[in-house]
Amino acid sequence: MRVALTLADSVTFRTTLPGSKQKQQTVVFTGNRDGTNVSLLRDTDVETVEVRVVGKTAYLKGDRRYWEQDGAGAKAATLAGRWVSGPTSTFDTQRTDMTMILDSAFAQQPTLEDLKKGRVARTTLDGVPAFTLTGFDGSDRNTLWIAASGDAYPLRLTVEDATIAEARPVMRGRGEMRFTAWNAAPKVSAPPASQVTPLRR
């Protein structure tokens, strides 16, 4: 799996994480390795923000909460729900960096010794042949699905006791990542020009 992740050119994934009783936190990402074709939607308890990167231009649309936290002050209400554009160099692109995202998600990939501790079973996921790995981390609560044919890409990861440490109060619950479109992420389009305001800081 490590080799497949390193060689992957693009991917689409959806992450769900613990949230408040009213709302689950969701992140949907489509992007390529060099960061020139990216779409990110982040919908959480504290903000909703969407980012698109087309070539060397970034587009960002946040709700009022996002802009207030970004320090927009009185302009937050005006900017809310409207696309703002600028060169990618003017935006924080860590959230849209495919390499950083995958490195973070799979920082501790199971070793051969880890796999010996767990259980491996054949199954299918959305019609795709797969292996399930359970118990590789010393717990029976987390499961990893890996493609059983072709390159060994991760297809799904469930964590039964995911923790959002930065939330106040700290949130715990079931987390999941689902991966699709390995090396076949769709092309991202810029928003309509009539909906875009050039970034001015």
Is the predicted pLDDT of residue 111 greater than 90, yes or no?
A: no
* Residue 32 to residue 11: CA distance in whole angstroms: 7
Residue 161: domain span? 1-10+107-188
The answer to whether residue 179 sits within a structural domain is yes
Here the contacts of 179-183 (C-beta below 8 Å, separation 24 or greater) are: 179/11, 179/12, 179/13, 179/153, 179/154, 179/155, 180/11, 180/12, 180/13, 181/10, 181/11, 181/12, 181/30, 182/4, 182/8, 182/10, 182/11, 182/151, 182/153, 183/8, 183/9, 183/10, 183/11
Q: What is the pLDDT of residues 113-127, one digit of tens each?
A: 776 777 889 999 999
Buried b (16+ CB within 10 A) or exposed e, 106-133: beeebeeeeeeebeeeeeebeebebbbb
Percent of the chain with pLDDT over 90: 51
In the prediction, which pLDDT does 169 show? 43
Q: Which is higher by pLDDT, 52 or 134?
A: 52
Q: What is the pLDDT of residues 5-22, one digit of tens each?
A: 888 999 999 998 876 655
Instruction: Read off the pLDDT band of 146 (50, 70, 90).
Output: very high
pTM for the complete prediction?
Answer: 0.83
The answer to whether residue 166 sits within a structural domain is yes
In the prediction, which pLDDT does 19 show? 67
The answer to whether residue 175 sits within a structural domain is yes
In the prediction, which pLDDT does 162 show? 58
In the prediction, which pLDDT does 166 show? 46
Is the predicted pLDDT of residue 4 greater than 80, yes or no?
A: yes
The answer to whether residue 22 sits within a structural domain is no
The answer to whether residue 72 sits within a structural domain is no
The answer to whether residue 180 sits within a structural domain is yes
The answer to whether residue 141 sits within a structural domain is yes
The answer to whether residue 66 sits within a structural domain is no
Q: What is the pLDDT of residues 73-106, one digit of tens each?
A: 888 999 999 999 999 988 877 778 898 888 888 7
Q: How many structural domains is the chain composed of? A: 1
